[in-house]
Amino acid sequence: MKRILSILALALAVSFSASAQSALGGLLSNLAGAGNGGSTLTGIVNSLAGVVYSAPISLNGTYSYNGVAVSVTSSEGGVLQNLAGSAVTSGIEGKIDEKLAKWGIKPGMMTITFNNEDNSFVWNIGKISLPGTYKVGDAEKTVTLTFGKTMQFFSMTGTLESGLTEAKMLFTANKTAGFLKKVVNQLGQSSSEVATIAKLADGYDNYKIGFKLAK
């Protein structure tokens, strides 16, 4: 039995990352003295399944808007660099936050409630509610939002980062600008300046604008 466990541990050390190796090492050590025969092997297999297959991405629940998220890339010396979280993106986020605040789109004024039972969502901004449906692509880490008749069935697909209490959705700058234009019109305000946010990263590549969310 110990020989079998040793072989399994060696194979796992080759196949998994350092962090996974640490977790699995402890798992195998505990299982080594937890029984014998097929029952122990069954326990190992079942436990490994939980390590290898992580839970699917879920957006279930209500999230509050925490501000704009921006991502751009820049090529320097032939190397493409992601500038997310840099002074460049922070500056752009600040400018967009200021513009959105004038239209009433700011922290405390916008929430999104996702229901994973029927893949529906309701995007609340001030006094308006924008319902729709969503689809999450686990492998690609993408999210597609399709709004209802109120937004003329507007749809947008972007990248998704999701944790237990936070999420970040990023869409192409032009797509986000198109969405915000419709929202500002729904709020009964002029949307003539919305297009300017899609030009704030001139000179950079892959300009994306999105939303930081927290439960």
The architecture CATH gives domain 61-214: Beta Barrel (2.40)
**Residue-range domain boundaries for the chain:** 2-52, 61-214
For residues 121 and 136, give the distance between their C-alpha atoms in angstroms, rounded to a whole number: 12
For residues 48 and 195, give the distance between their C-alpha atoms in angstroms, rounded to a whole number: 50
Q: Are 10 and 25 in contact (CB under 8 A)?
A: no
Question: How sure is the predictor about 118, in pLDDT bands with cuts at 50, 70 and 90?
Answer: very high
Tens digits of residue pLDDT in 80-115: 787 777 899 999 999 999 999 999 999 999 999 999
Q: What percent of the chain has pLDDT over 70?
A: 73
Q: Are 204 and 73 in contact (CB under 8 A)?
A: yes
Calculate the average pLDDT of the chain.
80
